[in-house]
Amino acid sequence: MPVKEKFPWESFPYRLELKDRVAWFQCQEHMDKEIARYNLKPKDYKVSAKRGHKIIRPERKPNRKKEVVKPKSNSKKREDILRPTMKFKTIEFAKQPNLLAPRYK
């Protein structure tokens, strides 16, 4: 098929060919929106661009399961330096209040 028939309009350099119709787009973003809108799979359509225009494929993510990385266990001293914890003393009062000399637990 000649280029003039494939791309009849000068300002629409991207072509999306489906099973039942053909659509032309001004930019690849518009074409990607159309593909996403109808949840089209790569086997359902054919994409082409006029000479001088590139079709940029999105990077595929690898189908690897993410490995769980365990954090290194720190020694107690190092852990206390990195994340100091507040140590509180609780005050317990006697049954008969002796406010001047409280007992610490």
pLDDT digits (tens, 9 = 90+) for 20-36: 999 999 999 999 999 99
- Which pLDDT score is estimated for 74? 60
Q: Which residue has the tokens 């852990």?
A: 79
pLDDT digits (tens, 9 = 90+) for 30-83: 999 999 999 999 999 999 999 888 888 876 666 666 677 777 666 666 666 777
Pair 5, 38: CB distance under 8 Å? no
- The residue with greater pLDDT, 87 or 5, is 5
